[in-house]
Amino acid sequence: MANENPMGDCGAADHVGALDQQDLEDEALVLDRLLTHWPTHLQDSDISRELRFDATKFGERDRIERAVHHLYWAGLVIRCGQGIVPTRAALHYHLLSDRTLVDL
């Protein structure tokens, strides 16, 4: 039947959930590095070094590229030539998240 899951009931949903969690963690790591080094424009290779990823391994390089891609579509980063920078929205949220109600 065309509407059935071709993976059947083989635990694929658990695997996808684990990938989603890994992607979210990678996005958080990448955004943290970009915000920490702001206003420096980091490149993919800089982020790989920061996170101690092996840029020669496809899987680790892909994790960075996927994280940047997801952050871009969420409106949190932009590419500026080879550099990657946080958007104004990401910078503003970072500024707000460093404050508590007592600070305000």
Which CATH number characterizes residue 26's domain?
A: 1.10.10.10
Is residue 8 situated within a structural domain?
Answer: no
Instruction: With beta carbons less than 8 A apart as the criterion, state whether 68 and 29 touch.
Output: no
pLDDT at 3: 57
DSSP state for residue 85 in the 8-state scheme: E
The model's confidence at residue 25, banded by pLDDT at 50, 70 and 90, is: very high
Q: Which residue has the tokens 């958080």?
A: 28
Is residue 80 situated within a structural domain?
Answer: yes
Q: How many helical (H) and strand (E) elements, i.e. helices and strands, does the chain have?
A: 4, 2
- Indicate yes or no: pTM above 0.75: no
Q: Which domain holds residue 91?
A: 17-97
Please report, as a single letter, which amino acid is at residue 55.
A
Is residue 77 situated within a structural domain?
Answer: yes
Is residue 7 situated within a structural domain?
Answer: no
Q: How far is Cα 45 from Cα 61, in angstroms, rounded to an integer?
A: 9
The model's confidence at residue 49, banded by pLDDT at 50, 70 and 90, is: confident
User: Quick one: which of 58, 84, 60 has its CA closest to 72?
Assistant: 84
pLDDT at 92: 94
The number of domains in the chain is 1
